[in-house]
Amino acid sequence: MAAALLGAPAATAEVQYPRQQWMRESTAGLFLHWGMFTAPRHVDCEAWEHDVTAGGWSADYWVDEARKLGASYIVLATFHSRLGYARPWPSKIPGSCSTERDFLGELVNAGKAKGIKVELYMTDDPQWHNEVPGVQTLDSDAYSAYKGEKVDLTTRQGFGRFSYDQFFEVMENYPDLAGFWIDNDNEYWESHHLYEQIRAKRPSWLLTNNNEDTPIMDTVSNEQKTGMTPAYDYPSAAFTPMPRISEGDYKLPTSGDWWYDGKDHPVDFRLSTGRYITNAGSSMKSLMAETAMVNGRFPPSQQEYNDFMADWTAPIRSSLQGTEGGGYMYGGMQPGFWNDGAHGVVTVRPGARTQYVHVVTRPGTDLVRLRDNGYRATKVTDVRTGKVMAFSQSGGYLTILGIADWDPYDTVFKVDTDGRQQSYYPQNTLRATASSAVTGHPAADVVDGSHENYWDSDGKLPASVTIDLGSRRKATSLAVNQREWSPTHARSTFGRPEDSARIKDYAVSTSDDGRHWRTVRTGALPSARGVQFIDIGERTARYLKLDVRNTWAGPQAPDFLGRLRIDEIKVAHGAPVSGSAQVPLEAESRSNDRDGGVRTSECGACSGSSRLVGFGGGARNSVTFRDVTATEAGNYRLQFDHTAGSATSLSVRVNGAAAIDVAVPAGNPDVPGSTAVSVSLVAGANTVEVFSRAARGPGLDRLAVGPLPPTSYVPKTTMTVDPHGLQWVGAGQQSVKVTAKLRLDADDVLDGVQLAPKVPAGWSVEGGPATASSMRLGETLEASWTLTSPPGADVASTTVPVTAAFLTLGTPHEVTQSIGVRPRQADRVFMREAEDSRNMLGTAGPTGCSPCSGGEKVRNIGGSAAADVRFPDVTVDRAGTYTLFIDYTVNGDRSFLVSVNDGAPVEAAVSGIGNSTPTTTTVPVTLAAGANTIRIYNDEESAPDLDRLSLGQP
């Protein structure tokens, strides 16, 4: 069978398969990095085995700790490049540490007895074979004697052969193993069709690959994602759509290595529980890494966390096990950012009638308000206390009221519903066409009822999709599920640039004949996971057209730039109304005093399905709220939900003080928007009067009062400064052209925005600051300047900060990106950082490297033609042969190929230990006078990481 499979074609993805069922039903796994180099490090295999046994190692301990975490499986990472390639099982294959005691077999049996699966970690990487000076962890001679021919285990090909044999020995000896967790790929495995053979020999086993979506694998694992907002929102950095199984594998200790390094590192309960819950709310599995000591026990901080989890998850287990993430392909309400600073996720039972609202970050008020996605709620219960909660539902929102029992990590509400069919048109009654599409992914896929099919706009933007309702019918909103194949924000992970391929600016139009269109809504969607909503008011038309003007992705991530994919678009014709409780501070409430022409008006998209209109002309047309309460005196965030067809304003007077004017932007006259200001309230009841000095004021839906965000809170923005990276310049006076762009990524408002460089003393700047009176979601501010160093002297080393300053609810903030300018070495005629924005990085990308020049380098070079770095405009005064200095980091033996002006390449073979130690090598290059292009690449194999290039004198 194996021989036959060697010629088999590559397998296609088996996204759903019966063998995966146990994993789909899982919430979490326990990831154990444990081996010969666990502290205290052993360099002798027998001594390590002796100390493990003498220390009282027990398989049952690991299994019991996994159960405390709610884990259904254990991944054992001992055959790991940084842990001595230890094999804690007897093996007939020599080449690395192998024990006489069968620790793996004991763990598999203990897990089987208690319902815990065990997967075995396998590495592709031989580069750390001599990490410990004087110690060689891979024995090429012993393996060569076993094979009867010379095999060098320190090479990728040789190690691939050695590890290939391990797979088959393990498959033969441990039939109750659940599968392999594979850390990337090895060329030998692929060329010998390893995975196809595993499928044939052990068809019930799972295959997991780390950091990439390999079609034959069952599971995609996402390693240690950071930089999200909130920090615990692990899924926002993931890149694989459901129903593909995804893991989030992360360390529970907040510092240190993946393995025990001799220290009891703390566990951040807030971060770890937040990851656990948000992963469950996105149908991702939490693969939690703990650092077992030599005897298998966990350090005290991790033991404490495990004990806590056993008690903490018990009352909410029903909301986590047997559920899927809500707001995606399984239905459910909308996850993400909710009211007054709240953030959370939704989990759903099959069919989505029973849903669980997980409030991970509590709001500043005693209510939670989230989009209901058309589900009509019938009952809301606090899962931990059993208390039946008051709630109200209208305008597309469910509001849970009077919350007093907040859990510090996750307050969970069970929401019983009677479904949502009454709010959306059946998908099979709709038809869709588009301006462009990739073959096999037509616009019809957005209304086919399946999230596994999707429309792809073929990289063309702007793009549009038109939905035919079949006849003139009422429509009130669109529910859009975009393809969850990109992170929610710009980032670089493992040297691969990523960005959000989600809709930013859009317009929705209606038509009766498909030719004459009326725009009914424009705006920007947030870059967020899960279903997103576009309210259009109550419209009657046959056709709806969604024009996508751009997406969030920037040019630094070419794989995502301009790419648009949408799974499903649902059309609502109303919003559920249920619950008997009243939402506080509704404008139309009878407890408010109205003056002049202010009156109630129907508004289907508004809270309570009504609003107040008739504002304008000053305080004679006003509404006064007399029950605006505050627990203590101080400054608060006062939010107005308003409707306005054109730009106008509101004014607010608190307790008779001077009125504050509030700008209201233009929008859809029947769809609420929000604006907030900071106001001073007294403890207890306050009187808030709202009017408009404009000739025609907006409609007023409701007020909301909450705490101001902490002064440390800065709305999420993206600022790009070009050029990026240290700028190396020649002698004399120098000028640098700088361009900066600020984008607001959050649903906040920035006031008084100013963008400008702060030049050092003696420098001059050409160009003034860019300013904006305000910025809202997705809006940008951009400017360029020319910076010139002091005359009559060589440029000195300096750093130029480019700063965006703004106000948020009256609090000043700044965000800064800096440009470093450095004089070149006297013997160099050219010098440029690899991460410089003038370079073209292909699929390679920058990553942090503190000892490197400029604190960054470019990694992920090599392995394909696209994974290269091109240095354009390498300018020299005269043609000739120059010495090219290549600054790099590498662990093991690798090669760069260097091509000038697409000519024949020159190889630069290098070796080293440690990927954070910059080293320099040289190659001769022949350059033409003027501008040249130097390409650094290796189409066949992985290349070293690149720090910088420079040219010596000819």
Contacts of 915 (CB under 8 A, 6+ apart): 889, 890, 891, 945
Mean pLDDT of 675-698: 97
Tell me whether residue 712 is in a domain.
Answer: no
Q: The domain containing residue 490 runs over which residues?
A: 427-572
Residue 1 pLDDT exceeds 50: no
pLDDT of 797 reads 95
pLDDT of 6 reads 32
Mean pLDDT of 309-332: 97
The pLDDT-based confidence of 227 (bands split at 50, 70, 90) is confident
SS (H, E, C) 781-830: EEEEEEEECCCCCCCCCEEEEEEEEEEECCEEEEEEEEEEEEECCCCEEE
More confident residue, 825 or 11: 825
Are residues 35 and 85 both part of a single domain?
yes
Strand duo 856-859 + 869-876: pairing: unpaired
Residue 491 pLDDT exceeds 90: no
Contacts of 133 (CB under 8 A, 6+ apart): none
Tell me whether residue 609 is in a domain.
Answer: yes
Contacts of 71 (CB under 8 A, 6+ apart): 26, 27, 28, 29, 30, 116, 288
Are residues 240 and 104 both part of a single domain?
yes
Concatenating the DSSP letter of every residue in 318-360 gives GGTTT-EETTBTTB----EE-GGG-EEEEEE-TTSSEEEEEEE
Tell me whether residue 587 is in a domain.
Answer: no
Bridge-partner residues for 401, per DSSP? 390
Residue 914 pLDDT exceeds 80: no
pLDDT of 13 reads 60
Looking at 675, 707, 739, the residue that finishes a domain is 707
Residue 8 pLDDT exceeds 60: no
Residue 255 pLDDT exceeds 70: yes
Residue 4 pLDDT exceeds 60: no
CATH number for 669:
2.60.120.260
Tell me whether residue 355 is in a domain.
Answer: yes
Are residues 783 and 898 both part of a single domain?
no
Name which of 493-502, 525-534, 679-688 the model is least confident about.
493-502
For 57-107, the pLDDT digits (tens) are 999 999 999 999 999 999 999 999 999 999 999 999 999 999 999 999 999
Are residues 436 and 402 both part of a single domain?
no
Q: One-letter amino acid identity for 50?
A: H
**3-class SS at 847?**
strand
Name which of 8-22, 263-277, 457-471, 776-790 the model is least confident about.
8-22
Residue 496 pLDDT exceeds 90: no
Are residues 721 and 624 both part of a single domain?
no
Could you tell me the two tokens for 241? 């759509």
User: How many domains does the structure of the chain reveal?
Assistant: 6
Are residues 338 and 393 both part of a single domain?
yes
CA dihedral 489, 495, 496, 502 (to 10 degrees): 0
**3-class SS at 652?**
strand
CA nearest neighbour of 544 among 563, 570, 523? 570
For 771-816, the pLDDT digits (tens) are 999 999 999 999 999 999 999 999 999 999 999 999 999 999 999 9
Angstrom distance (rounded) from CA 706 to CA 306: 35
Are residues 46 and 83 both part of a single domain?
yes
Residue 394 pLDDT exceeds 80: yes
Residue 221 pLDDT exceeds 60: yes
pTM (predicted TM-score): 0.94
CATH number for 351:
2.60.40.1180
Q: Is the peptide bond before 462 cis (omega within 30 degrees of 0)?
A: yes
Residue 12 pLDDT exceeds 60: no
Tell me whether residue 579 is in a domain.
Answer: no
Residue 11 pLDDT exceeds 90: no
Residue 271 pLDDT exceeds 60: yes
Are residues 364 and 247 both part of a single domain?
no
Q: Evaluate whether 663 touches 774 at the Cβ level (below 8 Å).
A: yes
pLDDT of 913 reads 75
How far is CA 726 from its chain centroid? Answer: 28
Are residues 834 and 817 both part of a single domain?
no
For 116-144, the pLDDT digits (tens) are 999 999 999 898 998 898 999 999 999 99
Are residues 649 and 692 both part of a single domain?
yes
Residue 10 pLDDT exceeds 80: no
Are residues 922 and 908 both part of a single domain?
yes
For 418-450, the pLDDT digits (tens) are 998 789 999 999 999 999 999 999 999 999 999
Angstrom distance (rounded) from CA 704 to CA 587: 10
Angstrom distance (rounded) from CA 728 to CA 730: 7
Angstrom distance (rounded) from CA 297 to CA 875: 60
Residue 892 pLDDT exceeds 90: no
Mean pLDDT over the full length of the chain: 95
pLDDT of 427 reads 95
Q: Is the peptide bond before 40 cis (omega within 30 degrees of 0)?
A: yes
Are residues 170 and 272 both part of a single domain?
yes
Tell me whether residue 475 is in a domain.
Answer: yes
How far is CA 678 from its chain centroid? Answer: 31
Residue 601 pLDDT exceeds 90: yes
For 150-193, the pLDDT digits (tens) are 999 998 899 999 999 999 999 999 999 999 999 988 989 999 99
Tell me whether residue 665 is in a domain.
Answer: yes
Looking at 668, 687, 707, the residue that finishes a domain is 707
pLDDT of 2 reads 35
Angstrom distance (rounded) from CA 218 to CA 208: 6
Tell me whether residue 15 is in a domain.
Answer: no
Looking at 707, 733, 760, the residue that finishes a domain is 707
The packing angle between helices 103-113 and 59-68, to 10°, is: 40
For 457-470, the pLDDT digits (tens) are 999 999 999 999 99
Name which of 10-14, 279-283, 845-849 the model is least confident about.
10-14
CATH number for 137:
3.20.20.80
Q: Evaluate whether 460 touches 804 at the Cβ level (below 8 Å).
A: no
